[in-house]
């Protein structure tokens, strides 16, 4: 699932949307991460008491739905409080459509959409957006390309023109491709050299889903990116860009009937994609334990991710699963962060999350620690996870989590761009407004026993876990062997997947 603005850098967005279930990845940098605190000096932080929060739910505004003859789906919501218009355009198909050996093709194609389109070259296109104070971003996700934008309502005609140019008349300039490709390779290399937290989710997916589209890297790799040509981009665009793939939600200060007419004029003649979109193959939890050790010889810390396959976006227990994850590792006062950071000082942070998708994505918990405390940190994380999966939460934890989740939800759907993204997301996954309107009720109705039952279904058994460790292999091999059969690769390898995938 995507996060709303502020706009993100291309690689940071790619890492977030293509990685395993982690918090938004830090922008790659060559500056090393701060060392994890010494175990002998535990942090003195004490979680602040939770203030009473409103349990009032959110009601999604009703949209005017229009389907054009070419298959474009429009969802329009008038919102006149501010003179702004925001859109979120979702094109079905993303990194899952990358051909083998061409990982990153969809992402590069998406990035080029705003690097020259229609009558404007890259600079002119950027000036057209910036000149009116507009915002525009392209986020290549795992299963979709997402274009988000926000303009003043007086510039709605320009917004429609720019959007239709990007979608229907992109230039795919060869020089812009060369620059984007070189920058992406450089950023990946920088992340490997500096703070690999930005990449551990990519390694996890590649190892956990070795023969599935979810295992491909949306960012591409140092092996795949140099081989992507303009011909590849043109071929991918012809096969995957078309009116029948588009879901476009617009929220803001406009007349729905008039805007629908403008959008039909601009997009109604867009031909369908040249290739039928294949269904994403099913995923399933893996059995047994499997360990990937990525050797970073200069590392003074170990970065680890542990998990398995989780749930799909449409899972009927998705709200309860997220509520349960909040207690485990979804907030600062979670069980994982309390044990690994607050009580023991083994790390600056530990968290867990779910990455639901069209098919079940990943569930992982992640952290990092000094090399010599790797075994202790992983053992403690596993102990917290195992006990929680078996015993569940007490009444105080449940009440606190419900209050927290209910308080965090409304601010995510306050602005026009947030609403536009949510409308397109729901349409993409085939969900209706009840996903939002019924959220507060589902959270409030959750019980301890109900959450525990869901967690025992959703969370993997302790004996069925995938481990990824990035660190100094020479110091970690014996530790890694404690957790299962080890597959080893080097961080200098140009691919994110080991050359030989373990048997599943």
Number of domains in the chain: 2
- Which residue, 235, 268, 301, sits at the end of a domain? 268
pTM for the model stands at 0.89
Give residue-wise pLDDT tens across range 23-57.
333 333 333 344 454 433 333 333 444 444 445 67
The CATH number assigned to the domain holding 102 equals: 3.30.830.10
Residue % of the chain over a pLDDT of 70: 88
Q: Judge if 210 and 347 occupy the same domain.
A: no
Residue % of the chain over a pLDDT of 90: 87
pLDDT at 3 over 70: no
Q: Judge if 263 and 356 occupy the same domain.
A: no
Section 1-10 average pLDDT: 43
Section 133-149 average pLDDT: 97
Contacts of 366 (CB under 8 A, 6+ apart): 22, 197, 200, 201, 303, 304, 305, 306, 350, 351, 352
Residue 277, in any domain of the structure: no
Section 322-351 average pLDDT: 97
Give residue-wise pLDDT tens across range 86-95.
999 999 999 9
pLDDT at 448 over 90: yes
Section 350-357 average pLDDT: 96
Residue 198, in any domain of the structure: yes
Residue 14, in any domain of the structure: no
Residue 141, in any domain of the structure: yes
Section 161-189 average pLDDT: 97
pLDDT at 308 over 60: yes
Q: Judge if 258 and 293 occupy the same domain.
A: no
Residue 48, in any domain of the structure: no
- Between 20-24, 140-144, 414-418, the lowest mean confidence (pLDDT) is in 20-24
Section 100-122 average pLDDT: 97
Which pLDDT score is estimated for 500? 73
pLDDT at 233 over 80: yes
Contact 470, 200 (CB under 8 A): yes
- Which residue, 233, 268, 303, sits at the end of a domain? 268
Tell me which residue range forms the domain holding 345. 289-490
pLDDT category of residue 73 using cuts at 50, 70 and 90? very high
Contact 79, 252 (CB under 8 A): yes
Q: Judge if 264 and 388 occupy the same domain.
A: no
In 3-state terms, what secondary structure has residue 393? coil
Give residue-wise pLDDT tens across range 472-493.
999 999 999 999 999 999 999 9
Q: Judge if 254 and 306 occupy the same domain.
A: no
Q: Judge if 298 and 222 occupy the same domain.
A: no
Residue 402, in any domain of the structure: yes
Q: Judge if 96 and 138 occupy the same domain.
A: yes
d(C-alpha 385, C-alpha 89), whole Å? 38
In 3-state terms, what secondary structure has residue 130? helix
Which pLDDT score is estimated for 42? 35
Q: DSSP letters along 10-24, please?
A: HHHHHHHHHSSS-SP
Residue 51, in any domain of the structure: no
In 3-state terms, what secondary structure has residue 65? strand
Which pLDDT score is estimated for 21? 37
Q: Judge if 254 and 358 occupy the same domain.
A: no
- Which residue, 268, 301, 335, sits at the end of a domain? 268
Q: HSE-up of 338 (CA within 13 Å, CB side)?
A: 14
Residue 189, in any domain of the structure: yes
């Amino acid at each position: 699932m995507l996060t709303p603005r502020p706009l993100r850098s291309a690689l940071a967005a790619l890492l977030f949307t293509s990685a395993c279930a982690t918090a938004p990845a830090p922008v790659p940098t060559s500056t090393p991460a701060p060392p994890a605190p010494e175990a002998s000096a535990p942090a003195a932080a004490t979680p602040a008491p939770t203030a009473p929060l409103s349990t009032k739910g959110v009601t999604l505004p009703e949209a005017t739905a229009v389907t054009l003859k070419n298959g474009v789906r429009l969802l329009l919501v008038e919102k006149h409080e501010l003179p702004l218009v925001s859109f979120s355009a979702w094109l079905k198909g993303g990194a899952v459509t990358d051909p083998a050996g061409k990982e990153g093709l969809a992402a590069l194609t998406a990035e080029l959409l705003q690097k020259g389109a229609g009558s404007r070259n890259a600079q002119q296109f950027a000036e057209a957006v910036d000149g009116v104070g507009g915002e525009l971003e392209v986020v290549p996700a795992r299963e979709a390309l997402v274009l988000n934008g926000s303009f003043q309502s007086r510039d709605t005609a320009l917004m429609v023109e720019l959007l239709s140019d990007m979608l229907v008349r992109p230039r795919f300039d060869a020089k812009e491709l060369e620059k984007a490709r070189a920058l992406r390779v450089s950023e990946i290399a920088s992340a490997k050299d500096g703070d690999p937290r930005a990449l551990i989710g990519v390694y996890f997916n590649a190892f956990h889903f070795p023969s599935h589209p979810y295992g491909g890297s949306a960012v591409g790799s140092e092996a795949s990116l140099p081989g992507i040509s303009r011909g590849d981009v043109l071929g991918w665009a012809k096969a995957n860009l078309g009116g029948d793939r588009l879901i476009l939600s617009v929220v803001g200060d406009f007349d729905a009937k008039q805007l629908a007419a403008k959008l039909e004029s601009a997009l109604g003649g867009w031909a369908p994609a040249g290739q039928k979109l294949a269904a994403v193959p099913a995923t399933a939890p893996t059995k047994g334990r499997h360990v990937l050790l990525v050797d970073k010889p200069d590392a003074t810390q170990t970065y680890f991710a542990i998990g398995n396959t989780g749930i799909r976006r449409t899972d009927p227990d998705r709200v309860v699963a997220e509520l349960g994850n909040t207690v485990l590792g979804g907030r600062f006062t979670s069980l994982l962060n309390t044990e690994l950071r607050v009580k023991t000082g083994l790390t600056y942070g530990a968290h867990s999350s779910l990455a639901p998708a069209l098919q079940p994505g990943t569930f992982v918990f992640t952290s990092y620690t000094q090399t010599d405390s790797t075994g202790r940190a992983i053992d403690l994380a596993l102990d917290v996870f195992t006990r929680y999966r078996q015993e569940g939460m007490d009444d105080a934890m449940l009440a606190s989590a419900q209050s927290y989740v209910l308080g965090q939800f409304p601010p995510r759907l306050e602005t026009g761009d947030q609403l536009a993204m949510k409308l397109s997301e729901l349409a993409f996954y085939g969900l209706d407004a009840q996903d939002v309107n019924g959220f507060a009720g589902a959270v409030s109705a959750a019980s301890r026993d109900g959450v525990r039952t869901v967690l025992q279904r959703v969370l993997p058994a302790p004996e069925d876990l995938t481990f990824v460790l990035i660190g100094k292999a020479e110091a970690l091999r014996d530790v890694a062997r404690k957790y299962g059969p080890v597959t080893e690769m080097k961080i200098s390898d140009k691919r994110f997947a080991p050359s030989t995938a373990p048997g599943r």
